[in-house]
Amino acid sequence: MLSGRKYRVEFTPVQVEFAEQIGGICRSVWNTGLEQRRAYRKRGAFIGYAEQCKQLADAKQDFGWLADAPSHVLQQTLKDLDQAVKTHGTWKVRWRSHRKWSPSFRFPDAKQIVVERISRRWGRVKLPKFEWVRFRWSRPLGGILRSATITRDGMHWFVSFLIEDGRPIPQTHPGPAVGIDRGVVVAVTTSDGDFHERPFITDGQRQRYRRLQRQLARTRKGSNRRKRVVARLGTVMRRVRSRRADFNAQLAATLTRRYGMVVLEDLNTKNMTASAKGTIEQPGSRVAQKSGLNKAILDKGWYGLELAVNNAARYTGSKVIKVPAAYTSQTCSACRVVDARSRESQARFACTSCGHVEHADVNAAKNIKAAGLAVSGRGDLAIRRSVKRQPPRPRARHAAAPAARGIPVL
Ligand SMILES: [Zn+2]
């Protein structure tokens, strides 16, 4: 099975400069390639990967600086562009901006790469046009090398190896199904009643972040001081991000080890934002928790969790299913009646029809699991049936309005 291994790199100052240079060349190859594709499309023509590669080779005659970068790396950039255009369409693929894009480039040919372990803590890799590059041997490589990718995150550089670990791909997992509710106050709740929670930002980091934001507002655009403050903000957020990523990876491993099927909500970010503010008739509750820094962190994490679960599931054979999030928090998991009033508070669900009382997040997670079982077991028929049970849109805009619009009340 193909798998990734990421290590922190310790470049020499010369290597840092060189890596930045290659990153810059890749960025302009990407942007030029995209510009060319768009120009072709405008006049109803098309240019593909093969033709762009040929032109790249010609361009090296005229633009000597292109030859500074390893040619495989530039070809890979065009291949990535090709893939991006195939996935998202010529007009949706983004430019790589000097400010926002961090260098990232791949060495696709394993034959040109040598990896060695030089001590307990250190390894080194030989990449085309680089001398030996040292990296922290933080985990075993454990497989046959396929490619290497260099990336920068803030001030740190990393190398990611794609390896074939020789493990067979498990097809099925005999374990039971689980529904996952991704909440605002508690990060993750399962249909079995487990709560998974970790503070992703410490109080100190929060204070520091706010202080830096105030500092940022006082700096002039383009000034060195502004750059410094932005870098410090990045450092705080990077710590938060890695804590979140760690949580996601561990939780994903736990879930896929135990369960044969993991059902996640197909979250719509628009709905989430709407539920925080609420409407004029019914203002949202706990707006503070759902907006600002907290929300930003959680929002990002949801997609991260989905990725982590999908990735972990490859190793266990668990099935990952996404179901629509609407009504999961208002439906009674015991009698299936939908009523916004059943959601008494953030934490408590009390069914207005059958009197079933449960933690609101656990109730929602159970509904998600039920929806997942319906989708996987009985196909579309089951979904259509459950849609019928949902209440019709009320004409007057009263208290039930957000529910009718499919906005989960959180
Ligand atoms: Zn009920």
Cα of 265 vs centre of ligand 1, distance in Å, is 21
Cα of 5 vs centre of ligand 1, distance in Å, is 48
Q: Where are the domains of the chain?
A: 2-164
Cα of 336 vs centre of ligand 1, distance in Å, is 6
Residue 181 has pLDDT above 60, yes or no: yes
Residue 367 banded pLDDT, cuts 50, 70, 90: very high
Whole-angstrom distance between the N-terminal and C-terminal Cα of the chain?
40
Cα of 276 vs centre of ligand 1, distance in Å, is 26
The answer to whether residues 18 and 130 touch, using CB atoms and an 8 Å cutoff, is yes
Structure confidence at residue 284 (pLDDT)? 57
Cα of 346 vs centre of ligand 1, distance in Å, is 18
Residue 9 has pLDDT above 60, yes or no: yes
Question: What is the rounded average pLDDT for all residues in the chain?
Answer: 85
Residue 113 sits at φ, ψ, to 5 deg, of -115, 135
Residue 303 banded pLDDT, cuts 50, 70, 90: confident
- Residue 222's identity, in one-letter code, is G
Measured CA distances, 269 to 187, 276, 283 (Å): 16, 11, 19
Structure confidence at residue 296 (pLDDT)? 60
Task: Find all residues with CB under 8 Å of 387, minimum gap 6, and list them.
Answer: none
For 350-369, b/e burial (b = at least 16 CB within 10 A) is bbeeeebebbbbbbbbbbbb
Residue 167 has pLDDT above 80, yes or no: yes
Cα of 117 vs centre of ligand 1, distance in Å, is 61
What mean pLDDT is predicted for residues 218-229?
Answer: 92
Digit-coded pLDDT (tens) for 67-103:
899 999 999 999 999 999 999 999 999 999 988 899 9
Closest residue by Cα to residue 373 from 257, 254, 253, 260: 260
Cα of 352 vs centre of ligand 1, distance in Å, is 7
Cα of 192 vs centre of ligand 1, distance in Å, is 18
Digit-coded pLDDT (tens) for 116-140:
999 999 999 999 999 899 999 999 9
Structure confidence at residue 269 (pLDDT)? 46
Residue 393 has pLDDT above 80, yes or no: no
Cα of 302 vs centre of ligand 1, distance in Å, is 29
Residue 308 banded pLDDT, cuts 50, 70, 90: very high
Structure confidence at residue 401 (pLDDT)? 38
Measured CA distances, 67 to 29, 56, 111 (Å): 12, 10, 20
- Cα separation of 331 and 406, whole Å? 12
- Cα separation of 339 and 386, whole Å? 14
Cα of 386 vs centre of ligand 1, distance in Å, is 15
What mean pLDDT is predicted for residues 25-32?
Answer: 95
SS3 readout for the chain = CEEEEEEEEECCHHHHHHHHHHHHHHHHHHHHHHHHHHHHHHCCCCCCHHHHHHHHHHHHHHCHHHHHCCHHHHHHHHHHHHHHHHHHCCCCCCCCCCCCCCCEEEECCHHHCEEEECCCCEEEEECCCCCEEEEECCCCCCCEEEEEEEEEECCEEEEEEEEECCCCCCCCCCCCEEEEEECCCCCEEECCCCEECCCCCCHHHHHHHHHHHHHHHHCCCCCHHHHHHHHHHHHHHHHHHHHHHHHHHHHHHHHHHHCCEEEEEECCHHHHHHHHHECCCCECCCHHHHCHHHHHHHHHHHHHHHHHHHHHHHHHCCEEEEEECCCCCCECCCCCCECHHHECCCCEEECCCCCCEEEHHHHHHHHHHHHHHHHHHHCHHHHHHHHHCCCCCCCCCCCCHHHHCCCCCC
Cα of 261 vs centre of ligand 1, distance in Å, is 25
- Cα separation of 12 and 14, whole Å? 5
Provide, rounded to the nearest whole percent, the portion of the chain with pLDDT above 70.
Answer: 83
- Residue 357's identity, in one-letter code, is V
Highest mean pLDDT among 134-138, 305-309, 387-391: 134-138
Cα of 349 vs centre of ligand 1, distance in Å, is 10
Q: What count of other Cβ atoms lies within 10 Å of the Cβ of residue 277?
A: 12
Residue 190 has pLDDT above 90, yes or no: yes
Cα of 365 vs centre of ligand 1, distance in Å, is 15
Structure confidence at residue 376 (pLDDT)? 83
Digit-coded pLDDT (tens) for 244-285:
889 999 999 999 999 999 999 887 644 454 455 555 555 555
Digit-coded pLDDT (tens) for 224-248:
999 899 989 989 988 888 888 899 9
Residue 269 sits at φ, ψ, to 5 deg, of -60, -35
Cα of 382 vs centre of ligand 1, distance in Å, is 19
Cα of 350 vs centre of ligand 1, distance in Å, is 8
Cα of 359 vs centre of ligand 1, distance in Å, is 13
Answer positive or negative: Cα dihedral of 382, 384, 386, 388. negative
Structure confidence at residue 327 (pLDDT)? 86
Residue 319 has pLDDT above 70, yes or no: yes
pLDDT: is 190 or 407 the higher one? 190
Cα of 323 vs centre of ligand 1, distance in Å, is 21
Residue 222 has pLDDT above 80, yes or no: yes
Residue 320 has pLDDT above 70, yes or no: yes
Structure confidence at residue 410 (pLDDT)? 36
Cα of 347 vs centre of ligand 1, distance in Å, is 16
Structure confidence at residue 293 (pLDDT)? 57
What mean pLDDT is predicted for residues 45-66?
Answer: 91
Cα of 105 vs centre of ligand 1, distance in Å, is 54
Cα of 191 vs centre of ligand 1, distance in Å, is 16
Cα of 356 vs centre of ligand 1, distance in Å, is 5
Cα of 263 vs centre of ligand 1, distance in Å, is 22
For 120-141, b/e burial (b = at least 16 CB within 10 A) is eeebbbebeebeebbbebeeee
